[in-house]
């Protein structure tokens, strides 16, 4: 089963930038997909599984409409506890980031704007740690 990184962000330009960077870094070894909402992400995970593609890592924005990224990750962990979660946030609050890391058992929390090299490194580590 081919591993997948799913990027979830309601801002299309950011999702496009994330997916392009990850596709460039990992080539054909890793499937990279995107969703513009939490609901779309859950649908994508099911559709990808049906196509024999396993979502191993989710890179998710914190502030999204309808369902925030932290809520999405909490629900995701209930349904798919093995998926590694990386939360992207523009919030400068280190205390809030530390709390979210603890409560959600995040693989990582990165500040926006995230540097491509940092994102690729963290995603690579998350893929290596995923079962």
Alpha-helical regions (H) of 1-131? 12-26, 38-50, 69-79, 94-104, 116-129
Question: Band of the pLDDT at 73, cuts 50, 70, 90?
Answer: very high
Phi, psi of 67, deg, nearest 5: -130, 120
Q: How confident is the model at residue 92 (pLDDT cuts 50, 70, 90)?
A: low
Q: Give CA angle at 39 (108, 26), nearest 5°.
A: 45
106 near 86, Cβ under 8 Å? yes
Q: Is the pLDDT of residue 100 over 90?
A: no
Percent of the chain with pLDDT over 70: 98
If pLDDT is split at 50, 70 and 90, which confidence band does 27 have? very high
CATH number of the domain enclosing 117 = 3.40.50.2300
Q: CA 25, CA 37: separation in Å to the nearest integer?
A: 24
Residue 96 scores a pLDDT above 90: no
pLDDT of residue 82: 95
Pairing between strand 84-89 and 31-35?
unpaired
Residues spanned by the domain of 72: 2-129
Tally Cβ neighbours within 10 Å of residue 22: 24
Closest by alpha carbon to 110, among 27, 13, 7, 3? Answer: 7
**How many domains is the chain built from?**
1
């Amino acid at each position: 089963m081919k591993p997948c990184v799913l990027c979830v962000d309601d801002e299309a330009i950011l999702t496009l930038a994330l997916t392009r960077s990850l596709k460039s870094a990992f080539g054909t070894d890793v499937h990279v997909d995107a969703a513009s909402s939490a609901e779309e992400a859950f649908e994508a995970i099911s559709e990808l599984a049906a196509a024999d593609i396993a979502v191993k890592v989710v890179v998710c924005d914190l502030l999204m409409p309808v369902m925030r990224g932290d809520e999405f990750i909490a629900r995701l962990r209930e349904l798919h506890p093995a998926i590694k979660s990386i939360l992207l946030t523009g919030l400068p609050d280190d205390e809030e980031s530390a709390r979210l890391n603890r409560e959600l058992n995040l693989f990582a929390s990165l500040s926006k704007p995230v540097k491509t090299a940092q994102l690729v490194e963290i995603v690579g580590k998350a893929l290596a740690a995923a079962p």
